[in-house]
Structure 1
Amino acid sequence: MLKGVNRVLLAIAGLVLIALGGSVLAIGLGAPAPSWWLHDGRHDVLLDEAERTRWRDEGWWWPVVIAALAVLVLLCLWWLLAVLRRRRPAEVLVDTGDGEGASLRGRALEHALEEEANRLDGVARAHVRLTGRATEPRARALLTLEPHVEPGAALHGLTTGAVAHARDSTGLAALPTEARLHARKHRPERVT
């Protein structure tokens, strides 16, 4: 949901900037200025003489303004790229052995890894997410373990079970996996 809100806010900001820039361009080309507009017409300047010379004696003013605007533009571009960049591969290229290859949906591979990891002894819940490229996917696994399970045994079961099966079935040379293990918290119980 946060990603959707982020994109909506970015779209609104972009539309506002396009509308303001387009109206400045239209007035500059001779269109009549609306009554609510900040300036009177085509030959009106954005900053008049008094506004431009107000800080003239201060040598720091204009470099600070230009640097702040440059930082703002760079932050906006970084934000746009972060929103538009796809972090998960939509599909994984599978080697079929006949030289052709096939594509497997990334979410299907995530689901298969999760299902097999959930069947491991002592794993209360598993969540797997693929990252990387379609030709070189990487997996991130979050395992919630029961209190009695040794983390090393759970990690060994994950790497020799779910990850090895996924790597072999897709024909990948390697499937690097980052695993985060958390212990499940249980409520204290009264013993009688």
Structure 2
Amino acid sequence: MSRLRSGANRTALLCAAVALLGAGAALASATDGVRERLPAGWPRLGADRVWLDGRDLGRWRDQGWWTPLVIAALSVGVLLFLGWAVAQLRSGRVRELPLGQPDVTLSGAALAAAMAERARAIEGVADARVRLRGNSRRLRARITVVLLPDSSPETVLQMLARHTVAEARAATAPRTLTADVRLRVQSHKSRRLR
């Protein structure tokens, strides 16, 4: 996930949390049980407060500009939410990479499978999985490597960087390819005695 997308997600969640927390605190301060426990200097809403009575509602209805404004604001809000939801659904997976010639492309799934196969061929590796993310200019490979219990993580990581990642960078040039490697050790299967 890109930094911009991650930052936008965190900002949206923070704004939603602040709005919900503020609304919840305001509504809670209108109840008697909460009002009695609040410190003396804190603002409180009256227990008999009416948010919009009939007279205020009639006055707003007489104004001709507020209905289109509210509908436009809600429409913009819905469109922004739908755009954000579509951006989240697009997982950022690389489907095809155009290569130097017009009709020549490289499948993202094929590149990930080739990288996983090359990683599995390294001595000391029990299993490997590769997921490619990114866009047409910048790629990120998340490589999960399961090591055999007696293998050296340093050696495996060096071989992975020298061969698997270097070959993938050469295949996807001039794009940049960054690799995040996660190493795990294969667990010993315990035997049951009867």
The reply on whether 1:88 has 2:106 as its aligned counterpart is no
Q: Of residues 102, 113, 116 in structure 1, which corresponds to 2:115? A: 113
CA deviation vs aligned residue, 1:100-133 (integer Å, no higher than 9, x gap): 6832111111111011011111111100011111
Deviation string, structure 1 residues 33-71 (Cα, Å, up to 9, x no partner):
xxxxxxxxxxxxxxxxx99539x8xxxxxxxxx9xxx8x
**Are the counterparts in 2 of residues 141 and 178 from structure 1 also a CA contact under 8 Å?**
yes
> In the TM superposition, what are the counterparts of 1:14-163 in structure 2 within 5 Å?
53=53, 76-77=81-82, 80-95=85-100, 102-163=104-165
Q: Secondary structure at the match of 1:180?
A: strand
Distance in 2 between the 1:187 and 1:178 partners?
28
Structure ranking higher in helix proportion: 2
Q: Is the 8 A contact 1:95 1:172 kept in 2?
A: no
Asked if 2 retains the 8 angstrom alpha-carbon contact of 1:87 and 1:132, the reply is yes
TM-score (norm. length: structure 1): 0.53
Measure how far apart 1:167 and its partner are: 1.6
C-alpha separation in 1, matches of 2:88 and 2:139: 21
Q: Percent identity?
A: 35
CA offset at residue 134 of structure 1? 1.9
For structure 1, which runs of at least 5 residues remain unmatched after alignment? 1-49, 57-65
Question: Is the 2:137–2:175 Cα contact (8 Å) retained in structure 1?
Answer: no
- Given that 1:92 and 1:135 are in contact with CA atoms closer than 8 Å, whether structure 2 keeps it comes out as no
Change over 3 Å in CA distance of 1:156–1:147 after alignment to 2: same
Following TM superposition, by how much is the alpha carbon of 1:136 offset from its aligned partner in structure 2, in angstroms? Answer: 2.0
The 3 A distance-change label for structure 1 pair 153 and 110 is same
**Length, aligned pairs only:** 124
Q: What TM-score do you get using the length of structure 2 for normalisation?
A: 0.53
**Structure 1 residues 133 and 51, CA, compared in 2 at 3 Å: closer, same or farther?**
closer
Amino acid at match of 1:89: V
1:176 partner SS: strand
Q: The residue matched to 2:177 in structure 1 has which SS?
A: coil
Kindly state the Cα deviation for residue 78 of structure 1 after the two structures are TM-superposed. Answer: 6.9
**What does 1:163-174 align with in structure 2 at a 5 Å threshold?**
163-172=165-174, 174=176
Q: How far apart are the structure 2 equivalents of 1:75 and 1:135?
A: 26
Instruction: Indicate how the Cα distance of structure 1 residues 136 and 95 shifts in structure 2: closer, same or farther if over 3 A, else same.
Output: farther
